[in-house]
Structure 1
Amino acid sequence: MKYIFVTGGVVSSLGKGLAASSLGTLLELRGLRVIMQKFDPYLNIDPGTMNPYEHGEVYVLDDGAETDLDLGHYERFTHTNLSRLNNLTSGQVYQSVLDKERAGKYKGRTVQVIPHVTNEIKARMQEVTEKMGGDVIITEIGGTVGDIEGLPFLEAIRQFGHEVGPGNVLYIHATLVPYIKAAQELKTKPTQQSIAKLREIGIAPNIILCRTEHPLDSDVREKISLFGNVPIDSVVEVRDVKHTIYEVPLKLHEERLDDNVCRQLNLTTPQPDLSRWRNFVQRVIHPTHHVRIGVVGKYIELQDAYKSIYESLTHAGAAHDCKVDIVRVDAESIEKAGPDLYLAGLQGILIPGGFGDRGTEGKITSARYAREKGIPYFGICLGMQIAVIEFARNVCGLAGATSTEFDKAAAHPVISLMEEQKKVKQLGGTMRLGSWVTDLVPGSKAFDLYHSATITERHRHRFEFNSDYKELMEEKGMLISGTSPKGDLAEIIELPAHPYYVGCQFHPEFLSKPNNPHPLFFGFVRAAMQHHAAADPVC
């Protein structure tokens, strides 16, 4: 087993996760089995209860773990199937240490960061090694070097590297090389200081990833090589890509990063076959068609809040040789100004998941607009519930229909709290989470897209379709095309008379990949293209 640790310095948001994922892509294409994991220094047990403004989206795994959004990059860029083992936080570490202390596992010893906390971190690495196997484990350390909360993780990976020995461990450090416009030159001092800080901890980087907006000339590379104490070919330029994040593996391969890693870890592999990846990137950059799809949400100004949805639209677009122009629409703006100003001219409307009642009426208005105008509609989690509420009000005539999440005394609670959720007191990790089986109705749109009678999808919700209203809604034209195996939970709804009006209770965006788009996103983008062609045959 070989171990690669990716750290970051100078500033956050350098793209360590993308760099780690891209390296995983390249090593996989060389025939290696790659495992990815993320160590996060924050004290939350997991990001499940964190505000999207604080953390971005919560990425859910098959086993129900609520994890960092970087694990979404890991699964999209590689074939690794992750579990709760692959995301460790300081909160989990300290909770485990304190539980052991209360249980007397330390036999009266004074409990300290070293060795008890660092041993707990190393134990997770050993557990992943034993349970998941593989050839290479790439571990990203969250935060930046110098953050006080990250010190135990850095000390742990220093110790771990010493224990597994030279040739089995590689430290990759990502830094910023800023361009000072007034001086018209790149500055290496932040990188030098970041590396010096890492050395104080006892870690000497083997490879330095230089995030930059401008090319690194030979003088800059030589300076970083000298002060970083690495060969010049281990100074890797990571320039901002112009079109799509999926260019990053190609750029890193041009910098021979994967060659360098394999050489330093004594891995003998063939060169990667990047043809399929290149073809995908070309379809993203130079598509033949285009559509405009509106995403109506309440965290719309935050790029990372709907990260997996945006990527899934890109995957589906590339499969159709189509550029998806995403129009971000604030649901509260629709409440104030009406739908025409924001939704006219769109070829598709998507309402993502979310919690709370802010912007809810704007979303309901958007769902009605899509239904009445014949515009393809895709509702995910809350987006499905919104579609049900809108249909109940405006087609079934149920005035005041809503969710008990928004109004506990609703006249018509067409969406209600799941029975098993009613006794739940704690918020973290208590929703319906992870992979669940859904049975599909033959002949439905969902059945035709999946080409299967049974599917497995990832969930994250507390509220559900109220089956007391099932008969009425079906009479009025709604089809519940996917249910739980017992038939008690509605998982997919659709309107057969509409070109594409589909809502799902699960989160399909967590299973979409660049060369394997999710079926529901694939169908949605195709319907948007057909809507565009019908409105403007020239396009």
Structure 2
Amino acid sequence: MAKYIVITGGVLSSVGKGTVAASIGMLLKRRDIKITVVKVDPYINVDAGTMNPYMHGEVFVTEDGSETDLDLGHYERFIGINVTKYNNITAGKVYFEVINKERRGEYLGQTVQIIPHVTREIISMIKKAGEVNNADVVIVEIGGTVGDIESLPFLEAVRQMRLEEEGNLIFVHVALAPYMKVTGELKTKPLQHSVQELRRIGIQPDIIIVRSEVSLDPESKNKIALFTNVKQSLIFSSYDVSTPYEVPLILEGQGLSSKILNLLGLPDGAVKLDDWESFVSSLKDGEKEVNIVLIGKYTKLKDTYMSIREALLHAGAFLHVKPKLMWVESTDIENNDDKLREIMKTADGVIVLPGFGARGTEGKIKAINYVRENDIPFLGICFGFQLAVVEFARNVLGLKDANSTEINPSTPDPVITLLDDQNRATQVGGTMRLGSQKIILKEGSLANKIYGTNIITERHRHRFEVNPKYVDSIQKAGLVISGVSENGLVEFIELPGKRFFIATQAHPEFKSRPMNPSPIYVSFLKASMRDQ
């Protein structure tokens, strides 16, 4: 029988529930407990795939092709697991399933209501995730903040689960305690109110994790214990640190995982964290800085490119260097050549980031042209890969109006065009080429050397491809197609004779892990080190 750890959040959103869930999962997995983690999102969208990044950050893509909340990336990176479509539950999924069941007559004769029908569906989905992943412990992160109207059905569902899973389910509440610098004290009243709201709907937390700028002092801990009915020994401090990867070390130093195991009636055991400690030290103590320019159209919200940022950090720790990231909005350099040149003067390497739509594309193309002509190490990801083909077609092949049909549907030279099966798509959500795909690498190519094998798998998220009609002319002009899918789609391109010029239709960052960094990000960062 599976055990459950339900994580709720209080005071404000983005309080760090995802990092706490991932940290607990990592600490338990290292005790040989089989873990899975479920993210519950109260929005009505069926998945995160149709949302603007400014609304919800990165869309994380799983091996099975699900477009999910970015917290699932935390889970995979920290715990070292691959999650599936069952690991992200949204209000949209729940209501969609309930309505379908009603239409099929499964509730025949009943008035379908939030309680019990919606809450039972939520419970069923949580348990299904545990069963599919054969988990000993299922960690459930409830999105949003206690008090949000959208979260109420989910909180009611886990309240009911607690009654059904007596002794097998605990609640961990993560809430902010603001630090008043003027007086030098933590204010616990907002946290107290968030717990009161939880208790009002029938949930008493077993453990409280206090998020704050500074470590929790004994007086504040005593006050929290008194007003929340939680023992001091079950109140933990998660204070600000330089990297989220330090959080599990902080929590383990306070004995969190042992307390959780005790509450769940599971045997405790030693946990080895030497490699994790070394990784965190490498993140902090890189021997030198490498200036990486990242060019995209959503750079004002760094969470849009979270997995790419993390992949660079993993690669930096592996190489004992510190990637210094400079985020550039592609629209800012579109009509400003002086600014482009100024930015590139300090660039040790350049990544052109993923994205959709016409806005900012000319800025990206200009940047690719600059790095190609000035031999600055370059990595193009997804849309960056497609625009590298456009730039080459324009400035090497001489097809001045070459473009993607996504940007200009009437371009005379559509070097990037819609995938054949996309013409038959009748819906937007969940219809892209998604998830893990096999790629065959060209023997002796840079891609082949990077990965050390001829066949790899990487995750994808795209609707457009390199137009097969232009493949021969592109190759004759010197652009090497170094990776293709099983059905012939171009997956990797590269330019020989350059320090490092490679781009991929895939998203290798989704598979990068702290102690197992993505090979292409390691190679890019190494090539960007000026003394190499």
Return 308-317 or 449-458, whichever deviates more.
Answer: 449-458
1:157-179 Cα offsets, whole Å, 9 max, x none, are 1111110112x111000111012
Q: Given that residues 334 and 342 in structure 1 are in contact (C-alpha distance below 8 angstroms), is that contact kept between their aligned partners in structure 2?
A: no
Partner of 2:226: 226
Q: Which runs of 5+ in 1 are unaligned?
A: 535-539
* 2:68 corresponds to: 67
1:223 is displaced (CA, Å) by: 0.8
**How many angstroms apart in 2 are the aligned matches of 1:235 and 1:430?**
45
2:401 corresponds to which letter in structure 1? G
Q: CA deviation at 1:396?
A: 0.9
Question: CA–CA distance in 2 between the matches of 1:126 and 1:58?
Answer: 24
The 5 Å alignment of 1:270-289 reads 270-289=269-288
Q: CA deviation at 1:183?
A: 3.6
Give CA-to-partner distance per residue, 1:305-360, whole Å, 9 cap, x none: 10100000000111100100001011111113222022212110001110011110
Q: Residues 38 and 126 of structure 2 are in contact (CA less than 8 Å); yes or no, is this contact kept in structure 1?
A: no
Name the CA distance, whole Å, in 2 between partners of 1:216 and 1:244.
19
Q: Deviations over 1:27-81 (max 9, x none)?
A: 1122211111101001111110001110001000111110000000000001221
Match of 1:456, SS state, is strand
Paired position in structure 2 for 1:324: 323
1:128 aligns with 2:126: no
Amino acid at match of 1:307: M
For residues 286 and 183 of structure 1, the distance between their equivalents in structure 2, rounded to whole angstroms, comes to 33
Q: Give 1:18 deviation, angstroms.
A: 0.6
**Matched letter for residue 441 of structure 2:** L
Give the Cα–Cα distance (whole angstroms) in 2 for the partners of residues 246 and 217 of structure 1.
Answer: 23
Structure 1 position 470 matched with structure 2 position 471: yes
- Cα deviation for residue 395 of structure 1 reads 0.9
Task: Work out whether residues 379 and 501 of structure 2, in 8 Å CA contact, stay in contact via their aligned partners in 1.
Answer: yes
Query: In 2, distance between residues paired with 1:138 and 1:195?
Result: 20
1:537 maps to what in 2?
none
Deviations 1:90-137 (A, max 9, x none): 011011111111111101200000000000001112212222112211
Which is worse superposed, 263-272 or 230-239?
Answer: 263-272
Residues 280-323 of structure 1: CA deviation (Å, up to 9, x unaligned): 11111001122000000011110211010000000011110010
Kindly state the Cα deviation for residue 214 of structure 1 after the two structures are TM-superposed.
Answer: 1.9
Distance of 2:411 and 2:264 partners within structure 1: 62
Alignment of 1:10-21 (within 5 A): 10-21=11-22
Q: Residue in 2 aligned with 1:176?
A: 176
TM-score, length basis structure 2: 0.98
Match of 2:78 in 1: 77
CA distance in 2, matches of 1:266, 1:105: 37
Please tell me whether the aligned partners of residues 31 and 270 of structure 1 are also in contact (alpha carbons under 8 angstroms). no
State the Cα distance separating 1:428 from its structure 2 match.
Answer: 0.5
What is aligned with 2:113? 112
Q: Is the 8 A contact 1:36 1:80 kept in 2?
A: no
Listed one character per residue, the Cα deviations across residues 468-521 of structure 1 (whole Å, up to 9, x for unaligned) are: 1111111111111110113x2001111112111111001111000000001111
- Regions of 4+ moved over 2 Å: 180-184
Letter in 1 for 2:89: L
- Residue matched to 1:533: 531
Q: Tell me the CA shift for residue 226 of structure 1.
A: 1.2
Deviation string for 1:424-461 (max 9, x for gaps)? 23111011111111111110111111111111111100
Map residues 74-223 of structure 1 onto 2, 5 A cutoff.
74-166=75-167, 168-223=168-223
RMSD: 1.0
The residue number in structure 2 matching 1:400 is: 401
1:519 counterpart = 2:519: yes
Name 2:246's counterpart in structure 1: 247
Within a 5 Å distance, the mapping from 1:355-366 to structure 2 comes to 355-366=356-367
Q: Which amino acid aligns with 1:311?
A: E
Give secondary structure in 2 for the equivalent of 1:6: strand
Gaps of 5+ in 2: none
- Distance in 1 (CA, whole Å) between partners of 2:76 and 2:61 is 11
- Kept after mapping to 1: 8 A contact 2:10/2:176: yes
For 1:151, the aligned partner's letter is: L
For 1:192-249, what per-residue CA distance to the aligned partner results, in whole angstroms no more than 9, with x for missing partners? 11001001111100000100112221111011011111110111101010x2111111
For 2:367 and 2:385, the matched residues in 1 are separated by 12
Shift of residue 467, structure 1, vs aligned partner: 1.4
| Alignment match, 2:446 | 445
* Number of aligned positions between the proteins: 529
Decide whether the 8 Å contact of 2:38 with 2:129 is kept in 1.
Answer: no
The residue type paired with residue 244 of structure 2 is I
CA contact 1:31–1:269 (8 Å) conserved in 2: no
Aligned to 1:346: 347
* CA deviation string 1:136-165 (max 9, x = no partner): 111100001111111010010111111011
Q: Please report how far the alpha carbon of residue 184 of structure 1 lies from its aligned counterpart in structure 2 after TM superposition.
A: 3.1
CA deviation string 1:359-382 (max 9, x = no partner): 101100111111111111000000
2:502 aligned residue: 502
Is the 2:170–2:264 Cα contact (8 Å) retained in structure 1?
Answer: yes
The AA in structure 1 aligned to 2:452 is H
> Are 2:316 and 2:323, in contact at CA under 8 Å, matched by a contact in 1?
yes
